[in-house]
Structure 1
């Protein structure tokens, strides 16, 4: 049995890998043959006493992730008929960290309501590694991001679960970009990007601002006189940001508005 890393060049199989033939002359050991796998070839070196010493030479790059290797070494003498002996060789290929982690996706996109509670799960990311043992053990983390983003989100280093740490506010920030890393036990890294879209919630009431007031209103003011000019807006978006205004007083007043999400209203004397 031999252990081999991917950097193996030649391996002397030692005394247990050499054949012994008590015959002498032409009937003694003449050659070695190797069969069973294309990854290795056989080289035979002469020992100090003239004996033959077989060596395994790496002929093709090994891959721990694909296969384990079993070889047959045959020793043949020069008799007539020739006699031979065989030995089974088991090559245990030790893993080298030649595979970086791989995320299931290079880019993720998530939508999250702005009223999501801290502690809520944003997404579970996952990566795999074709190596084995500690080289395949993955730890998750964030890449270089602003302090503001790091305060909002957290990631579990063992599971890749990303959670919300602080409340969101669509009116403050409507999108976040998270840089996620997966590191294996040998230090190789993989990266993915996650876009978090914050969905607006109707959490803001309309704001009314008085721009100008005519007070008091002369009783002989003509019809069409502007009495009050208002500005009304809602910081929410979409339908949540549209506003409608109505008066709680009877005539002689009515409102006049301009279209849009920021409205200017006038109370106009109608008679």
Structure 2
């Protein structure tokens, strides 16, 4: 910033000095023209940070050498423009959620959230899955604007009891952050017991004693816990 001032007085009564209010970012360098008139230039000394101070208000005072001393003041308002110097940051490093198997498409799972200290388009975030393995891409979907994760395919407890997916937040300048989402699948009783006769003795002698093995039967249920507990009867 170039600053010049006019003082019709001459000699000591003329402009002698410029004073800039104290600040951490700018310094003032003063110069003299061949006719002894003075001017000043304001230079940036330390980097600006819009996220800390989006606006700066300074005062520049021009002082003469007379008695009494006289001065003039100008206000300098500085607006700091944003650059994309901040990456998105997730509010959690790990999200946990649960979903019932066979949940219909569109079932809500969880919402991931990231923030970006930059402004305007530099602070706009899009969400996506990254490094998906196997069929996960066909089972879950994430809204790129809201970060909402929902069911988009078949959730089967008997195939996968839990999923771990990595999500990514990216700003418009390409800066990113990532987080994990752990999804537990809850079992429902959607499988009937399966009976398998392993061996069978036929015929059976009429004088066979009680306790004689007639058949060996194996029964399995793919469900878990109480849903997979079996009782047999004849």
* Fold-level similarity (TM above 0.5): yes
Asked if residue 154 in structure 1 is aligned to residue 151 in structure 2, the reply is no
Q: CA deviation at 1:21?
A: 1.7
Structure 1 CA distance for aligned equivalents of residues 76 and 34 of structure 2: 25
Does the CA-based 8 Å contact 1:37-1:69 persist in structure 2?
A: no
Alignment equivalent of 1:116, drawn from 91, 103, 114: 103
Cα deviation, residue 211, structure 1: 0.5
User: In the aligned structure 1, how far is the partner of 2:85 from the partner of 2:187?
Assistant: 45
Cα RMSD of the aligned pairs, angstroms, is 1.7
Q: Distance in 2 between matches of 1:46 and 1:150?
A: 70
Equivalent residue for 2:89? 102
- 1:215 aligned partner: 202
Provide the residue aligned with 1:6 in structure 2: none
Structure 1's 114 and 41: CA in aligned 2 closer, same or farther, altered over 3 A? same
Output the CA distance in 2 between the equivalents of 1:70 and 1:167: 60
The alignment partner of 1:226 has SS state of: coil
Give deviations 1:2-40, integer Å, cap 9, x for gaps.
Answer: xxxxxxxxxxx23xx311222233222211000153332
Q: Which residue of 1 aligns with 2:27?
A: 41
Equivalent pair of 1:108/1:195 in contact (CA under 8 Å): yes
Alignment equivalent of 2:216, drawn from 215, 224, 229: 229
Gap runs ≥5 in structure 1: 1-12, 248-271
> 1:188 & 1:137 partners in 2: Cα distance?
11
Any unmatched runs of 5+ in structure 2? none
Count how many residue pairs are aligned between Structure 1 and Structure 2.
233
Check 1:211–1:49 CA distance in 2 against 1; reply closer, same or farther (3 A cut). farther
Q: 1:48 offset after TM fit, Å? A: 6.6
Tell me whether 1:23 sits opposite 2:23 in the alignment: no
Whole-Å separation in 1 of the counterparts to 2:142 and 2:35: 65
Evaluate the alpha carbon distance shift between residue 34 and residue 166 of structure 1 in structure 2; reply closer, same or farther with a 3 A threshold: same
Residues in 2 aligned to 1:239 and 1:56: alpha-carbon distance in whole angstroms: 78
TM-score by structure 1 length?
0.81
Q: CA deviation at 1:63?
A: 2.0
Shift of 1:54: 1.6
Are 1:181 and 2:168 counterparts? yes
Question: Offset at 1:145?
Answer: 1.5
> Residue 135 of structure 2 aligns to a residue in which SS?
helix
3-state DSSP class of the match of 1:108? strand
